[in-house]
A = this chain, B = another copy of it.
Amino acid sequence: MVASDPDHLQDFCVADKTSRINVNRYPCKKTVNVTEVDFFFGRGLANSAVINNLVGSVITTANVEKIPGLNTLAVSLARIDYQPDGLNPPHTHPRASEIIFVLDGELDGLAHYQKNNGVKPASVIAGFNSQFPGTQSIATALFTSTPLVPVHVLTKGFQIGTKGVKKMRNKLAPRKLIK
């Protein structure tokens, strides 16, 4: 999948986060208000994140929300840190293609999920062709979304019992994967 913005008409269009107009991307800040800070994320991806969830991985995004200068440029990065046995569970990026550079450690998978089967922590840098690629964890989207997907849809769709659905909901609920 590819997300792009082929109608570039200026060298940059820094996101104006104070605008009250929402046009499927941010309007541009006035050029006089643009500073070099709009194009940097400081040490945002330089350090590994603290992992404190069931699946054992955390995603740190460097998208237009963090770097306003990425607005309309259709490119962004993310860092994913994995503890040993950590999993970046099955997910999709609804608005982007992805390419991964392994910073540290070794990983299995690399297609729609990655698993750190080594004994040391692992980290990757992921590149996307969207300034806001999105990440959707399939399990949490189906079992813990608001509003909830009805139980009978999940029992029929996954061929499991009502009890099974409720158990999965309880376990998956508190997870927070992206910051």
Q: Measuring CB to CB, which residues of chain A are less than 8 angstroms from any residue of chain B?
A: 1-11, 13, 16, 19, 21-25, 27-30, 39, 45-46, 54-56, 62, 64, 70, 72-77, 87, 89-90, 92, 94-99, 101-103, 108-110, 112-113, 115, 125, 127-132, 134, 138-139, 142-143, 149-150, 152-154, 156-160, 164, 167-168, 171-172
Contact = CB atoms under 8 A, between A and B. Distances in A.
A22 B11 contact: no
Contact of A153 (B3, B94, B115): B115
Given A54-B159, A153-B115, A9 B94 contact: no
A9 B97 contact: no
A87 B24 contact: no
A2 B115 contact: no
B6 A2 contact: yes
A97 B45 CA distance: 19
State the number of copies, please: 6
Contacts of A76: 99, 127
A90 B127 contact: no
26 contacts: A1-B95, A6-B6, A6-B7, A9-B132, A10-B24, A13-B22, A21-B23, A23-B27, A23-B28, A24-B25, A55-B156, A62-B99, A62-B101, A73-B97, A73-B99, A74-B97, A75-B99, A75-B128, A77-B127, A90-B142, A109-B153, A112-B149, A115-B152, A129-B130, A160-B167, A164-B164
A23 B98 CA distance: 21
B153 A158 contact: no
Given A19-B21, A54-B159, A75-B129, 4 more contacts: A2-B74, A3-B4, A90-B142, A113-B157
Contact of A4 (B4, B45, B102, B156): B4
